[in-house]
Amino acid sequence: MSEPQQPAGAGWPAEMTVPDASRDANRDGARTDAEPRADTANEATADAAEAIDAADAHDAHDGHDGHDASAGPRTDEHAVQPDLAALERAAVAIQASAYAPYSRFQVGAAVFGEGREFLGVNVENASFGLTICAERNAIAHAVCSGVQRLTAVAVCTSVSPPSSPCGSCRQVLAELAEDLRTFRVVAVNPQGERREWTLDQLLPDSFTRAELPGAVGATGTAAVSTDSVRPGGK
């Protein structure tokens, strides 16, 4: 995928169109509403696997080894920059798995870090405050797999223009972002619209671990050291 044009400054960039390959991954038909499908779980799982397989086929064409989607998240230890097109397709494909019976606002997310992709969807709860956002769900998946340095996220919603991550998710992304200045945030919808930012544009002057003097435990040692702050923090 050619390098997307970066926004000139903070704020909302001009809307662009997702590559045709992104639409192919959603060829069952673009949904113009947020109503969940009856066969949501099975179709979404198959679509997500197909999207990852398509990305692997692209990698194989470029000389990378393929990957069996059933074996887990796609891995490329040599990948420094995320394949945004593949990340977008994965977010679109997994969106239908979202559990959103109350808001009917389904969200799919795919985060990238250390050469691997991790998926997540929003999971609502009758006790509304317990709802989990798709982005944080994907981040938790990454952390459970041992990945704690993220470089990109793609988020799929059905609205136009596509929604950006909420404030809470921006803060959690910032916690694990390798560099806020280069962390890529892409918002897409199944209809083909696309928007892109860097994380520092969505969360300027962010609060990071660099603000903390160190959490002192019972032993008197600092549990958090500002010496380990990643680039892009304060």
- Residue 118 has phi, psi (to 5 degrees) of -135, 135
Q: How far apart are CA 218 and CA 165, in angstroms?
A: 37
CB atoms inside a 10 Å sphere around CB 78: 6
- Helical (H) or strand (E) element with 47: helix 40-61
Q: What are phi and psi of 108, to 5 degrees?
A: -120, 145
Q: CA-CA distance, 88 to 224, in Å (whole number)?
A: 34
The position carrying tokens 């928007």 is: 195
- Return the structure tokens found at 10: 């903070």
Please say whether the beta carbons of 106 and 34 come within 8 A: yes
SS3 70: helix
Q: Residue 35 catalytic?
A: no
Q: Which of 135, 175, 178, 196 is catalytic?
A: 135
Residues marked as catalytic: 135
